[in-house]
Chains A and B, each alone.
Chain A
């Protein structure tokens, strides 16, 4: 079945540590996105990529980094510069930029 796979489901970060969230899709979608969701709030865009080897900052990119070396993969690194990383992270893809979004099941990141 086609879909988006995020891993891990739960992740704990220690102070000063970088952690990487995985996102893989087999939908053959060109565009991929990373969103952050805090309790009781909507989704905020961290980074997006419209095509392989290209990505753009979203509204809250500070403290995060991404890469898009393969069409299927769009990993997100939460760096130590992100001082409030606890949130629910959602990866999404779409056939064309800003068409209907298909989401992975999310990663809950918490700080130890």
Chain B
């Protein structure tokens, strides 16, 4: 079993749709959680940190459930420009960051 698992998708949604991605992790000692966005053949860019209390940034909402060991990303009112691969990243205390394989989103007109 991988340390960080994501549904690879692809998710194909129309503009304006709401879409949610989940990510599960196996290391209960994990401390930090992030969502990165990666466009095709480009470098990943930080989208959001994920906090236990949940956090929101415009159309994006991230949630952390430590008991069930998963994090989620919700995108509301999808735009064409949201089309990308979304990477879940989990970091254990004083350990290395572990990346999921990514979830691919395509938003269609």
Q: Which residues of A contact B (CB under 8 A)?
A: 35, 40-45, 48, 58-59, 88, 90, 97-106, 108
CB proximity of B64 to chain A, nearest CB, Å: 16
Chain A residues in 8 Å Cβ range of B49: 100
Interface residue from A41, A101, A105 paired with B97 (Cβ < 8 Å) = A101
Interface residue from B41, B44, B95 paired with A103 (Cβ < 8 Å) = B44
Interface residue from B36, B41, B89 paired with A88 (Cβ < 8 Å) = B41
Q: Which residues of B contact A (CB under 8 A)?
A: 4, 8, 32, 34, 36, 41-46, 49, 87, 89, 91, 94-97, 99-102
Interface residues of A: mostly helix, strand, loop or mixed?
Answer: loop
Q: B96 near A105 (CB under 8 angstroms)?
A: no
The 10 closest A-B pairs by CB, nearest first: A42-B99, A103-B43, A42-B101, A43-B99, A98-B91, A41-B101, A106-B43, A105-B43, A100-B46, A42-B100
- Tell me the complex Cα distance, A100–B42, Å: 18
The residue of chain B having its C-beta at the shortest distance from the C-beta of A44 within the complex is: B99
CB proximity of B2 to chain A, nearest CB, Å: 9
Q: B41 near A100 (CB under 8 angstroms)?
A: no
Q: B96 near A45 (CB under 8 angstroms)?
A: yes
CB proximity of B74 to chain A, nearest CB, Å: 21
Chain A residues in 8 Å Cβ range of B91: 98
Chain A residues in 8 Å Cβ range of B89: 101
10 A–B contacts, CB within 8 A, in A order? A41-B101, A42-B87, A88-B41, A98-B95, A98-B96, A101-B46, A101-B89, A101-B97, A103-B43, A106-B42
Max count, chain B CB within 10 A of own CB: residue among A35, A45, A98, A100: A98
The residue of chain A having its C-beta at the shortest distance from the C-beta of B8 within the complex is: A40
Chain A residues in 8 Å Cβ range of B44: 43, 90, 101, 103
